[in-house]
Amino acid sequence: MDYDYLIKLLCVGDSGVGKTSFLYKYTDGVFHTQFISTVGIDFREKTVIYQQNGRQHRIHLQLWDTAGQERDAMGFLLLFDLTNEASFLEVRNWIEQLKTHSLSDDPDIVLCGHKCDLQEKRLVNQNRAREFAKNHNLAYLETSAKTGQNIDRAIDILLDRVMYRMEHSVEYAMLCASGRRRQSLQKLQARQERKICTC
Ligand SMILES: Nc1nc2c(ncn2[C@@H]2O[C@H](COP(=O)(O)OP(=O)(O)OP(=O)(O)O)[C@@H](O)[C@H]2O)c(=O)[nH]1
Ligand SMILES: [Mg+2]
């Protein structure tokens, strides 16, 4: 497989909030109504073209769907269900977990109020979620795997944040490096060193 960067993102949130459905919609464009709780670890993949500084990069996304802690993810989609207040109240704990277990004390997180198509069943109002996100310095979007609303956009925003961090911190990028990813990150470092070089 040919790509410039391999980026590993992780989708977290309480059981039933729609993590698998979100990722499935993003990679395959489909939505299923039945609920089959994910057992263990699963991941989906997609290659996208990303524009940065007027250049096009092929980015291979690995989207992890797991209840466990994936410590070396580069960015996080944090989902709660807009029709389930308890899942919103748990967001605070999820943030703490991500801060404790991720590579950075200030990880890149996009908060998604999910199932926004179920307007008549909504229990968390938009202003409340927005205010919370603002106080925690998170991007906030309302998403639906059923209609597809903001699914691509949530990943695009997260990818922007991750790429920005990679470009501005080779150290962080090297921390993330492992296996095949290391090769692409070395390319990134070499490019940055060329930029610093004045000859
Ligand atoms: N109406 C609606 N239903 C959704 C949406 N996303 C997911 N669902 C439904 O919510 C249920 C749970 O979705 P999953 O994607 O399996 O949830 P999950 O977060 O992966 O759950 P676990 O694997 O147990 O952690 C399923 O019945 C889905 O069809 C959405 O955007 N709108
Ligand atoms: Mg699941």
Domains, the chain, ordered by start:
5-163 (3.40.50.300)
Amino acid at 139: A
Give me Rg for the CA atoms of the chain.
Answer: 17
With a 6 Å cutoff on the Cβ, whether 177 touches ligand 1 is no
pLDDT of 192 reads 47
Provide the sign of the torsion angle of the four alpha carbons 141, 146, 148, 152, taken in this order.
Answer: positive
Mutation probe of ligand 1 site: the residue of 12, 17, 21 with most atoms within 8 A of C-beta: 21
pLDDT of 126 reads 97
pLDDT of 100 reads 86
Digitized pLDDT (tens) for each residue of the chain, 199 residues in all = 689 999 999 999 999 999 999 999 999 999 999 999 998 888 999 999 998 888 899 999 999 997 666 667 889 999 999 999 999 999 999 999 998 888 788 899 999 999 999 999 999 999 999 999 999 999 999 999 999 999 999 999 999 999 998 888 766 666 555 544 444 555 545 554 444 443 3
pLDDT of 115 reads 98
With a 6 Å cutoff on the Cβ, whether 23 touches ligand 1 is no
For residue 21, the ligand 1 atom closest to its alpha carbon is 15
pLDDT of 50 reads 94
pLDDT of 136 reads 96
Structure tokens belonging to residue 133 = 């996100």
pLDDT of 180 reads 44
In terms of DSSP H, where are the helices of 39-179?
85-89, 91-101, 126-135, 151-168, 170-176
- Round to the nearest angstrom and report the end-to-end CA distance of the chain: 35
Query: How many CB atoms are closer than 10 A to CB 121?
Result: 11
Closest ligand to residue 150's CA: 1
Provide the sign of the torsion angle of the four alpha carbons 66, 157, 119, 95, taken in this order.
Answer: positive
**Ligand 1 centroid from CA 146, angstroms:** 9
**Residue 193 near residue 174, CB atoms below 8 Å:** no
Cβ neighbours of residue 196 closer than 8 Å, sequence gap 6 or more: none
With a 6 Å cutoff on the Cβ, whether 19 touches ligand 1 is yes
**Ligand 2 centroid from CA 15, angstroms:** 7
Mutation probe of ligand 1 site: the residue of 20, 30, 44, 82 with most atoms within 8 A of C-beta: 20
Alpha-carbon gap, residue 93 to 96, rounded angstroms: 5
pLDDT of 106 reads 86
With a 6 Å cutoff on the Cβ, whether 33 touches ligand 1 is yes
